[in-house]
Chains A and B, each alone.
Chain A
Amino acid sequence: MSGEPLLEVKNISTSFFSHLGEIQAVRGVSFYLNRGDVLGIVGESGSGKSVTALSIMGLIEKPGKIKQGEIIFNGEDLMKKSQREMCELRGNEISMIFQDPMTSLNPVYRIENQMVEVIRYHNRNLSRKKAVAQAVEMLRLVKIPEPEKQIKSYPHEFSGGMRQRVMIATALSSNPGLLIADEPTTALDVTIQAQILDLMNDLRARINASIILITHDLGVIAEVCSRIIVMYGGTIMEAGNERDIFYNPQNPYTVGLHQSIPSNLAISEKRLVPIRGTPPNLMYPPKGCPFSPRCSYTMRICLEEAAPTIRLSDTHISVCWLLHENAPKINGYSKGKIVDRYKTPSGS
Chain B
Amino acid sequence: MRNYFFRRFIQSLFTIFLIATVTFFMMRSIPGGPFTRERPVPDEIMRALNAKYNLDAPLIVQYFDYMKSLLTFNLGPSFSRVGVSVNKLIGLGFPATAKIGFLAVLLIILVGIPVGIVSALKQNRPVDYFVMFMATLGVTIPNFVIATLYIYLFAGKLGWVPSFGLRTPWAYIGPILALSGYSLSFVARLTRSSMLEVLRQDYIRTARANGLKELSVIGKHAMRNALIPVITYLGPTIALLMTGSFVIERIFAIPGIGRYFVESVSSRDYTVIMGVTVLYASFYVLMIYLVDVLYAMIDPRIRFDKEIP
Contact = CB atoms under 8 A, between A and B. Distances in A.
Contacts of A90: 208-211
B216 A91 contact: no
A104 B202 contact: yes
B212 A106 contact: no
Interface in A75-118: 87-92, 95-98, 100, 103-109, 117-118
A89 B202 contact: no
A167 B300 CA distance: 19
A213 to B, nearest CB: 16
Given A89-B211, A92-B211, A107 B301 contact: yes
Contacts, number: 76
Most buried by A among B202, B206, B213, B216: B206
B223 to A, nearest CB: 10
A57 interface: yes
A318 B144 CA distance: 70
A121 interface: yes
A212 to B, nearest CB: 13
A108 B211 contact: no
B212 A87 contact: yes
Interface in B220-277: 220-221, 224-225
B210 A108 contact: no
A160 to B, nearest CB: 13
A201 B126 CA distance: 49
Most buried by B among A98, A104, A122, A170: A104
A97 B212 CA distance: 15
Contacts of A106: 203, 206-207, 221, 225
A20 to B, nearest CB: 16
Contact of A91 (B211, B298, B301): B211
B81 interface: no
A118 B298 contact: no
A59 B205 contact: yes
A89 B304 CA distance: 38
A167 B301 contact: no
Interface in A102-141: 103-109, 117-118, 121-122
A103 B203 CA distance: 6
B62 to A, nearest CB: 50
B206 A104 contact: yes
Contact of B202 (A103, A108, A117): A103
Interface SS majority for chain B:
helix
Interface string B269-309: 00000000000000000000000000000111100100000
Interface in B24-47: none
Most buried by B among A96, A106, A171: A106
Given A105-B206, A106-B203, A167-B206, A121 B301 contact: no
B300 A104 contact: no
A156 interface: yes
Contact of B210 (A100, A107, A109, A171): A171
A19 B93 CA distance: 53
A342 interface: no
Contacts of A121: 210-213, 216
A158 interface: no
Interface in B105-141: 123
Nearest to A173: B210
A57 B304 CA distance: 36
A180 B212 CA distance: 17
B225 A156 contact: no
12 contacts: A57-B209, A95-B210, A96-B209, A97-B209, A104-B203, A106-B203, A106-B221, A107-B299, A108-B225, A109-B221, A117-B212, A121-B210
Shortest 10 CB-CB contacts between residues of A and residues of B: A91-B211, A90-B211, A91-B210, A103-B202, A106-B203, A96-B209, A104-B202, A154-B300, A118-B210, A104-B206
